[in-house]
Structure formats: structure tokens, C-alpha cells
Structure 1
Amino acid sequence: MAIVSTFARNPLADQLVGNDLRLARREGPPAPALNFDYAATTPPLRSVHRAVERFLAIYGSVHRGAGLKSQAASAAYEEARAIVGRFVGARPGQHQVIFTRNTTEAFNLLARRLKFRPDQVVLTTELEHHANDLPWRAVAPVVHVRATATGALDLDHYAALLQRYSGRVRLVAVTGASNVTGHMPPIHELAVLAHAHGAEIAVDAAQLVAHRQLDLGDLNDPAHLDYVALSGHKLYAPYGAGALIGRADTFALGAPMLVGGGSVRRVTSRIVDWADGPAREEAGTPNAVGAIALAAACLALQEVGFAWLSAHETALTSYALAQLARVPGLWIYGDCDPDQADTRLGVIPFCLDQFDPHLVAAMLSYEAGIAVRSGSFCAQPYVRRLLAREEAGCDVGQLGLVRASIGLATSKQEIDSLVATLHAIARGDFDGLYVYDQVTKGYHPHGWNQQYNLSFFEQATPLAA
């Protein structure tokens, strides 16, 4: 795709399903929906939607039938597996691609497939999403590497902990990019140190792979990554699939986490002979539609090119940091230096002094049609660390933060709209009364009774005999 200008209307915007949607506001006519919530869930690419529609014509029982549709569906499913593997640099024979529902399921699967000695620990970090923390607590003692006051990984503390537990660290579990601050730890440098101390490394790549190229590396390279996990819903393919990609030898032996049809070769009343390859980990009928969507998204991002994506998002992140810093009473958490935008992703947490972060998120939505996220973003220890910094912060910051995140279709003009609306909130320009809803745990304008059209399903009609 030929991309010419960074700050012109984003040429990729029309390639997202729903980009032309207009939503009701508290006052005035319906407004375009401005998305600054890419870090949570991305809209589907039109090319992904088209790939799913084509696949549905041949949809059949994957790996379960002799019918021609079943054979075609099985071939497409395995082609999707190969595409996802190449997307992250998986080496044939060294790595295995296992389709999951999402990153959370991937790490739960891995946690139950790794073997631990009684004296071994998992080294994870304070930066992690709960998905890369809680699964490890269920199988081994967990030790956390500190985050610095600005939200970066404390590399000295990491090295010290590896030294302290040398020979006992079974796994290092670390994010490739924080879903709270966009901080990107040097994962390949961390891998070298982990391997030197006899540990493997697993990377939560859910936030990373939609923005930066990832390469697992050859297993003979000390900087290689042993396992990575990703989710389609953060990769412009929200069709319910994710993937765990990692060392094939880890999954060659032992019982899988999920057992049932498809994961076995032979079953008697006393014996179970498990299947080889990824089938061992994919019991039951797989989400073939999700796998096709995930593979199509991988191909689409490769076509756009990560060099362009990185440069585009770096420029927008730098611009956003500089403009947000001018909003009175607004505090940015994490690295807020616009000149360092190339070292991070466009995930920007902030709070507005004297304003509940959930109220700020609601006002952005109802007043201007701007979608952001508020709260702790499934990373409560990390957000607490950020809010505990001594120098300054918001008076109501302990309620969480507001997060604006940049994605494929973000433009400079959208950032201007976000910043202008925050200026208006800070000035008190909006005179609408907002009330807290105990059921939804969020705010809405007093008297708001907008009914959303939920008629997504066709009226059922009797099937012809």
C-alpha cells in the first residue's frame, strides 16, 4: 500500500469496518465515532471481513470429515496456522502454533504445560496485564521485577533477581509492550540474560504485534524468545481467536490442558494416546473462522509494512504527548517526553485534576463521541505503582486513570478533537449533569435515554420443507 502523508486524513481509515459510524451525543447531531481505545479492542479490517466471508462458503468440520468442504476447511485452517507462525518468525521444526481464544487462554495453557521443580519460580514484572501474572501464581511461586517511578521496567532489579534465583528461575514472563503506558521492555536483551541463567522467556505480545515487527529467533540464538502469545481482537481480527507460539519440544510430551475429541490418536477404557503436533492442544472443534481472520489480519499488517506503521504511530504519539501536556490540570503517566516516542507505543494514560477518570471518559464519549478507556486496564499492581509516585498527580487519581491509545486509523485531526474536548472539560464548558450508575459502574448524562439499535439479527422465518 502506498502511503504518502502522515498527517493527512489517514488513508487506512476506510479499511476498517464501522469507520463511517456516527453516534448520538448529549447535544447536537450524531457525530463520527472517534476511536482512542485500540489498546483494548480493535475494529476488524475490511480485508479480514472479506476473508471470513470467503471462508464461510467452504466452512466444514475441520479435521473431522472426508467431505470436500471439510477437506477445504482443514487446508485453510492449516494455512492460517502457517501464516500466523511466519508473522512472528516461527521456525519450522522448532516452533509450534497453537490456536487459542486469546492471550489469557494461551498463558493458562502454557502454565499448565510447563514442568516445574518444587524449588523453581516464575519471574514476572509489575508491568503485566493480569493475563501474564495470575496464571503463573497457580503453578509456582511468582517474583515480580519492579517498575520504575515512570513505569519503565527496572533492568537492574531484573538482573539482580536473576542472580539471586539463578538456577531456580523456570520462566521469565514479560510484556512486549505495556497496555497501560506503551512501554516496550528490551525483550531480546531480557532473553539473553534469562537464558544465561537457565530460564526460558515468554512474551505477552498482545499489545505489541499490531504495531511492531516481532521475531522469535532461532533457538540457537541466545536472544531468542521461547514463547509468545497474541490475541486477534487486538490485531484487527475480533473473531474470537488468539495464538500461543512456542517451543515444539515443550508440547511434544505430556497431557494437554484441555482434553477431548481431536486431541487423541487412540483411546481405550484404560489407555489414552495423545495426538502429535498442535492437535494435542486443540481439543474440540476449533474456531476456524477466528483462525482465518487472525491470519488475514497478519497478512494485511505485513502489506501495510511495519516500517510505515512504526513511523506513523511514533509521529502521532509525539504529537499527542505534546498537545496533551498543554491541557490545564492534566497529568500524563509513564514516559511523557515527545522526543522519546519512538521507544514506546501510542498508549497514553492520564488523569485530569479534580475529575473522576470514569467521568472524564464518559464526558469524552457523550459530548464528542470519543472512545477511551478508564480504570486500571486489568493491570492493577502497575497502575497502583504509577499512582504512588511522589512528585505529583491527580487528587482523584486513586480511582484509576484514563487511557487514550493510537491505532491504524488514528489521525492528527482526531488527536486535535481529543485535546480540544479535554480543554473544554477542564474549563467546565459542559453544563450537563452526569450521574453515576451503580449497575454499569459508569457515568451518563442525567435523563439520558438513548436506545441503541440492537436489531442485528434477521427475523426468523420458517424453513421451506
Structure 2
Amino acid sequence: MTVVEGTTAYDVASLRGDFPILGRRLAGDLPLVYLDSANTSQKPRQVIDAIADHYQHHNANVARAMHQLGAEASEAFELGRTKVASFIGAPSREEVIFTKNASEALNLVARVLGDAGRVGEGDEVVITEMEHHSNIVPWQQLTQRTGASLRWFGVTDEGRLDLDDIDGLITERTKIVSLTWVSNMLGTINPLDTIIAKAHAVGALVVVDASQAVPQIPVDVAALGADFVAFTGHKLVGPTGIGVLWGRYDLLAELPPFLGGGEMIETVTMGESTYAPPPARFEAGTPPIAQSVGLGAAVDYLSAIGMENIAAHEQAITAYALEAMQEIEGLTVIGPKEPVMRGGAISFTLEGVHPHDVSQLLDSRGVAVRAGHHCAKPAHLRFGVQSTTRASFYLYTTELEIDALVEALHHTKKYFGA
């Protein structure tokens, strides 16, 4: 990996050598053009090697074994937590809770806030129309359980949040505001500062789904001002099977457990149990040990490149793609068409061709994209489409890969006579 000192750029070609899968040849001896990083990112050797080394030399359960391997595994697991806390600017490592993914992190927040009586009949929870299903369904379930009401921000024709009625949506009845930082479908980067300030002014808590944000822009949760932030490891060059919930410690310490089991307790008798302080209170059972090791290696890798550099590359490659794709007749970008306050995911339709057919034709030419509703059906409904094709980029995406995408889209149009 080569970082160009003193600039906001890095050597993408050299960096790609860290990712073994990017050198793969597909059927027909086609080079892989991987444009599905919003779905899951590829992993560098540094992450793969860290996980393999843990299993080969240090594998044991944590907090249960007094032998040397147990001590090593416990130290490695907690070191992953320390690295993640530093990476996101958490004031304390005890504010970092490991889950199995962002969906579990968001479900955890919704469940324990309800169990703690933070939301009741007559209260309101506010979300947005552009949310991933993981940030819709848990709040639907919470409001159904408690008798609260669910409300949401709409989306403009340009794919931005419609803030015109912010004073009518966030009121003294609002207890929770939960929204995505960067839309996984539209690519929109939302104005969190405005919404957080408004929510806190009425005493509401703010939950942020940062699954698409943490991989591609610098994050400082202390400066952000939200109360909870959730994200997943596999989108930021880390392993699958691990997510993160960051929460203000004073709030976490007041909330009840999410799951019961080993290691989340202080004492257990047949009559009652008392619970450990955070983060252990929310990490019942054997945690994602090797995954924590891998996630620690992932944030080390990203930090060495510099998140400012990654954000600059993401903006540049997205601008290049938007310009190139909008020259294709019949292609419509769903979401912001300018690379301003925008992440590296572009959802689009191609006139006369179903998104699944677009995806399959692109795949036949080695270009990997996603087709479907991207777990964002309400956002698709807002724009009057059942599904879209989505190309998404990351720190290893090159302009040549965008050129390959555009060429494959022209071929797809010709193939279908569109």
C-alpha cells in the first residue's frame, strides 16, 4: 500500500494489490470489476491475515479461560474495541458495543429504549423515507408495542431530505429521531447537524445509521452530537459477523439488557440476576472474537491511508461515474445527480430493461453490481420504481472500472434493443 504524502490522494493501483480478490479472473477469463461495495466491501490481506493468525495461534474463548490462550484472546478482542473507539472518536472504549451487524445494533437500541419506558402511548418516533429496512422495521415494532406513533421525513425529487416541515415533524411529542447518515440507495449525505440540533432542542434522542458513512468519511461521534451510532464491519474492509453500536455511556448505563446469558451479568441466583455495566451488559454469550481482531486490523488499514484521502477519492470517482453514466441515453439516476453531499452509491434505471436483466448482462462482462430494492422499498416507491440497479464504489475503485461499467451498459442497451 502506497500513500502519497502531503496530498489527498493515494496510489489506487498499488493499494489494489492488497486485495487478492480484485485480481481474480471470472468465467470467460474476464477481469473482475467489483462495483458492489455498498453491499459489502472487499478485504485486504492485512485483515485476512490478522483473522487467520488469531485462529492459528491464539484461539480461545474470552473472559472464561485463565490460561495463556484465554488471556491472549481476551486481550486481542478488547484491543479491537479500543481501536474502533479511537477510529470513531468515542470518548470511552466502554461506549463501544459489539453486535453481529448494524441491523442487530439498531434493533438493540429500539428494544431497550422501549423496555426502559423511553417511548410510550402518545409519543412519536421520527425516521425518514430513505431508510434501509433495518432502520424502519425496528421502529415500527417499537411503536406498535408501545402505542406510540411513527412519523417520517419525505424525500424531494432530487433525492434529498425534505426539511420544509421539520418543525411540524420534530415536536415536544418526539422521543426518538433515527435516520441514516448516507443513504445506501440514493447516496445522499444527510444534514445531521440540523436534525440533531432540532431533536435535542425538544429533548429527543438521536440514533444514526452510519453503515454507509463510517467506511467513506471521517467520523467523530463526540463531535457529531448523536446519542447512538450504528454501523457494520463488513462494509469498511472488515469481516462479516460484527457490527458496532456506539452510545453515550450515561445512556447505556441506564438501559436494560437486550439479551440474557453469559458475561452480561454481575450475579445470578435462581430468584434474580443483576447486570454488568456497559459494554458487557449488551454482549451476552461468546462475542465475535476473531471478527473483533479483523475489525481492528481493518480500521488500522483505513487509518494508515487516511479517511480524508478515502473521502476525497470517493467523491472524485463518484463525480466521474455520474458524468459518464448520465451520457447514456435512457439511463436515469435515482438520487442526487451532482457529487455534492453525496456518497459512492448510484442507483439507476435503464429504459426498457429490467434492473435484474441489467445486472445479469453486466455480470456476463465481469461487472458486479446489485439489482433489486436494496432493502429500501419505501424509497423506491417514492420514485415510482419497483427496483433499480446500483453501482457502488470504494477506496479501490478506478476510473477504468467506471469505463468498463459504461461500456457494459452500452452493450446492454444494444443487446435488448433499448
Alignment TM-score > 0.5, same fold: yes
- Letter of the structure 2 residue corresponding to residue 231 of structure 1: T
Say if 2:149 is the partner of 1:152: no
Tell me the equivalent position of 1:369: 366
CA offsets 1:234-273 (integer angstroms, 9 cap, x no match): 1111231011001122222453111011111211110101
Tell me the equivalent position of 1:34: 33
Within the candidate set 132, 135, 138, 1:135 is matched to 138
Tell me the equivalent position of 1:353: 351
SS of 1:295's equivalent in the other structure is helix
- Letter of the structure 1 residue corresponding to residue 298 of structure 2: A
Which stretch of structure 1 is more off in the superposition, 52-61 or 65-74? 52-61
1:7 deviates by: 10
Task: Work out the CA distance in 1 between the residues paired with 2:150 and 2:233.
Answer: 28
For residues 7 and 412 of structure 1, do their structure 2 counterparts lie closer, same or farther at Cα, with a shift above 3 Å needed? Answer: farther
Task: Work out the CA distance in 2 between the residues paired with 1:50 and 1:264.
Answer: 34
Say if 2:18 is the partner of 1:15: yes
CA contact (8 A) 2:190 2:341 kept: no
1:92 deviates by: 2.0
User: 5+ residue gaps in structure 2?
Assistant: 144-148
Say if 2:196 is the partner of 1:195: no
SS of 1:234's equivalent in the other structure is coil
TM (norm. structure 2) is 0.93
Q: How many residues were matched structurally?
A: 404
Task: Calculate percent identity across the aligned residue pairs.
Answer: 36
What is the correspondence of 1:2-81 to structure 2 with a 5 Å cutoff?
2-3=3-4, 10-24=13-27, 29-56=28-55, 57-81=57-81
SS of 1:235's equivalent in the other structure is coil
Q: Which has the larger radius of gyration?
A: 1
Tell me the equivalent position of 2:146: none
Say if 2:214 is the partner of 1:209: yes
Task: Work out the CA distance in 1 between the residues paired with 2:293 and 2:123.
Answer: 38
SS of 1:12's equivalent in the other structure is helix
Which stretch of structure 1 is more off in the superposition, 225-234 or 185-194? 185-194
Higher helix proportion, which one? 2
SS of 1:343's equivalent in the other structure is coil
CA contact (8 A) 2:353 2:416 kept: no
Tell me the equivalent position of 1:251: 252
1:217 deviates by: 1.8
- Letter of the structure 2 residue corresponding to residue 322 of structure 1: E
1:155 deviates by: 1.8
CA offsets 1:134-177 (integer angstroms, 9 cap, x no match): 10111123111111112111122233311xxx222111101010
Task: Work out the CA distance in 1 between the residues paired with 2:340 and 2:274.
Answer: 50
| 4+ residue runs over 4 A deviation | 4-9
Task: Work out the CA distance in 2 between the residues paired with 1:83 and 1:282.
Answer: 18
CA offsets 1:264-307 (integer angstroms, 9 cap, x no match): 12111101011122111111111101111112111211111122
1:315 deviates by: 1.3
Task: Work out the CA distance in 1 between the residues paired with 2:137 and 2:333.
Answer: 27
1:120 deviates by: 1.7
CA offsets 1:350-374 (integer angstroms, 9 cap, x no match): 11110011000000001x1111011
1:429 deviates by: 7.8
- Letter of the structure 1 residue corresponding to residue 256 of structure 2: A
Task: Work out the CA distance in 2 between the residues paired with 1:9 and 1:305.
Answer: 13
Say if 2:265 is the partner of 1:264: yes
CA offsets 1:91-125 (integer angstroms, 9 cap, x no match): 128x6111001000001111111132322221100
Task: Work out the CA distance in 1 between the residues paired with 2:272 and 2:165.
Answer: 48
What is the correspondence of 1:264-343 to structure 2 with a 5 Å cutoff?
264-337=265-338, 341-343=339-341
Task: Work out the CA distance in 2 between the residues paired with 1:333 and 1:199.
Answer: 31
Task: Work out the CA distance in 2 between the residues paired with 1:205 and 1:255.
Answer: 23
